[in-house]
Chain A
Amino acid sequence: MVWRQYRGPRLWIVLSPKWQSARARLLQERDGAGPRLFLLTVLALAFWSGVFGIVYRVLRYFRTVPEIGDLLSTKLLGLVLLAFSSILLLSNVITALSSFFLAKDLDLLAASPVHSIRFYLAKLTETLLHSSWMVALLGVPLFAAYGIVYHGGPLWPVAVLAAFIPFLLLPAVVGTALTLLLVNIVPARRAKELLSLIGIGAIASLVLVLRVAQPEQLVRPEGFRSLADFISMLQAPTNPWLPSEWAMSALMNWLLRVGDPQPLVFLWGTSAISLAVGSVLFRRLYRRAFSKAQESAPVPAGSRWTAALEVLLQWLPADRREFILKDTRLFFRDPTQWSQLILLAVLIVVYLFNIQALPLFSGERFPASVLTLVVFLNLGLAGFVLAAVAARFLFPSVSLEGRQMWLLRSSPLDLRAMLWSKYWIGTVPLLILALLMTTVTNLILKASPFMSAVSLVTMVVFTLAASALALSFGAFYPRFDTENAAQIPTSFGGLVYMMASVTLLALVIMLEAPTVTAQIRAEQYGVRVAWNPWMAVPLASAGIVCVTATLLSLRLALSRVQRLEV
Chain B
Amino acid sequence: MITLTGLTKRYGKFKAVDGIELTVPKGELFGFLGPNGAGKTTTFRMIAGIIVPTAGRIEIGGVDLVRQPLVAKRRLGYIPDRPFVYDKITGAEFLRFVAALYNAEDASLERRIDELLDLFELMPWKHELTESYSHGMRQKLIIAGAFIHRPEVIVVDEPMVGLDPKGARLLKDLFRQYVNRGGTILMSTHTLEVAESMCDRIAIMQSGRILAQGTMDELRVQTASGNASLEDLFLRLTGGFREHQLDTILEV
Report the interface size class on chain A.
20 to 34
Q: Which of A452-502 contact B (CB under 8 A)?
A: none
Contact of A318 among B50, B90, B103 (CB under 8 A): B103
Whether A410 lies near B129 (C-beta < 8 A) is no
Whether, in the assembled complex, A526 has its beta carbon less than 8 Å from a beta carbon of chain B, the answer is no
Whether B89 lies near A326 (C-beta < 8 A) is yes
Contact flags B180-207 to A (C-beta < 8 A → 1, else 0): 0000000000000000000000000000
Query: B residues within 8 A CB of A406?
Result: 45, 48, 50, 78, 80, 84
Query: B residues within 8 A CB of A403?
Result: 82, 84
Contact of A411 among B96, B98, B127 (CB under 8 A): B98
Query: B residues within 8 A CB of A404?
Result: 84-86
Query: B residues within 8 A CB of A518?
Result: none
Complexed CA–CA distance, A413 and B71 (Å): 10
Whether B71 lies near A330 (C-beta < 8 A) is no
Contact flags A298-332 to B (C-beta < 8 A → 1, else 0): 01100000000000000000110111011001100
Quote the shortest CB–CB distance from A370 to chain B (angstroms). 50
Could you write out 9 A-B pairs with CB less than 8 Å apart? A318-B100, A318-B105, A333-B88, A404-B85, A406-B50, A407-B101, A408-B101, A410-B73, A412-B69
Interface residues of A, dominant DSSP: helix
Q: Which of B64-87 contact A (CB under 8 A)?
A: 69-71, 73-74, 76, 78, 80, 82, 84-87
- The chain B residue sitting closest to A299, CB to CB, is B128
Query: A residues within 8 A CB of B101?
Result: 319, 322, 407-408, 411-413
Quote the shortest CB–CB distance from A24 to chain B (angstroms). 15
Complexed CA–CA distance, A410 and B84 (Å): 13
Contact flags A276-315 to B (C-beta < 8 A → 1, else 0): 0000000000000000000011011000000000000000
Contact flags B7-45 to A (C-beta < 8 A → 1, else 0): 000000000000000000000000000000000000001
Quote the shortest CB–CB distance from B240 to chain A (angstroms). 30
Q: Which of A488-522 contact B (CB under 8 A)?
A: none
Contact of B100 among A297, A321, A334, A410 (CB under 8 A): A321
Whether A407 lies near B98 (C-beta < 8 A) is yes
Whether, in the assembled complex, A409 has its beta carbon less than 8 Å from a beta carbon of chain B, the answer is yes
Complexed CA–CA distance, A404 and B94 (Å): 11
Contact flags A59-102 to B (C-beta < 8 A → 1, else 0): 00000000000000000000000000000000000000000000
Complexed CA–CA distance, A405 and B74 (Å): 17
- The chain A residue sitting closest to B46, CB to CB, is A565
Complexed CA–CA distance, A23 and B129 (Å): 35
Quote the shortest CB–CB distance from B15 to chain A (angstroms). 16
Complexed CA–CA distance, A329 and B76 (Å): 27
Quote the shortest CB–CB distance from B53 to chain A (angstroms). 11
Whether, in the assembled complex, B56 has its beta carbon less than 8 Å from a beta carbon of chain A, the answer is no
Q: Which of A386-438 contact B (CB under 8 A)?
A: 402-414
Query: B residues within 8 A CB of A402?
Result: 84
Whether, in the assembled complex, B132 has its beta carbon less than 8 Å from a beta carbon of chain A, the answer is yes
Quote the shortest CB–CB distance from B97 to chain A (angstroms). 5
Complexed CA–CA distance, A438 and B139 (Å): 49
Quick one: given A330-B86, A330-B88, are A322 and B100 in contact (CB under 8 Å)?
Answer: yes
Complexed CA–CA distance, A403 and B83 (Å): 9
Complexed CA–CA distance, A330 and B49 (Å): 25
- The chain B residue sitting closest to A405, CB to CB, is B50
Whether, in the assembled complex, B52 has its beta carbon less than 8 Å from a beta carbon of chain A, the answer is yes
Whether, in the assembled complex, A566 has its beta carbon less than 8 Å from a beta carbon of chain B, the answer is yes
Whether A300 lies near B70 (C-beta < 8 A) is no
In order of increasing CB-CB distance, the 7 nearest A-B pairs are A322-B100, A403-B84, A333-B88, A410-B48, A411-B101, A410-B78, A412-B73
Complexed CA–CA distance, A400 and B45 (Å): 20
Quote the shortest CB–CB distance from B178 to chain A (angstroms). 18
Quote the shortest CB–CB distance from A317 to chain B (angstroms). 8
Complexed CA–CA distance, A411 and B71 (Å): 10
Contact flags B48-65 to A (C-beta < 8 A → 1, else 0): 111110000000000000
Whether A414 lies near B70 (C-beta < 8 A) is yes
Complexed CA–CA distance, A326 and B88 (Å): 9
- The chain B residue sitting closest to A326, CB to CB, is B97
Complexed CA–CA distance, A196 and B206 (Å): 53
Complexed CA–CA distance, A408 and B85 (Å): 11
Contacts A326-B89, A412-B69 known; 13 new A-B pairs at CB < 8 A: A300-B90, A300-B129, A319-B100, A319-B101, A322-B100, A330-B86, A403-B82, A406-B80, A406-B84, A408-B101, A410-B76, A410-B78, A412-B70
Whether, in the assembled complex, B131 has its beta carbon less than 8 Å from a beta carbon of chain A, the answer is yes
Contact flags B226-238 to A (C-beta < 8 A → 1, else 0): 0000000000000
- The chain A residue sitting closest to B12, CB to CB, is A31
Query: A residues within 8 A CB of B48?
Result: 406, 409-410
Query: B residues within 8 A CB of A565?
Result: 50-52
- The chain A residue sitting closest to B133, CB to CB, is A296
Query: B residues within 8 A CB of A329?
Result: 88-89, 93
Quote the shortest CB–CB distance from B145 to chain A (angstroms). 8
Whether, in the assembled complex, B120 has its beta carbon less than 8 Å from a beta carbon of chain A, the answer is no
- The chain B residue sitting closest to A409, CB to CB, is B50
Quote the shortest CB–CB distance from A251 to chain B (angstroms). 45
Whether A410 lies near B50 (C-beta < 8 A) is yes
Q: Which of A315-359 contact B (CB under 8 A)?
A: 318-319, 321-323, 325-326, 329-330, 333-334
Query: A residues within 8 A CB of B127?
Result: 299-300
Quote the shortest CB–CB distance from B122 to chain A (angstroms). 15
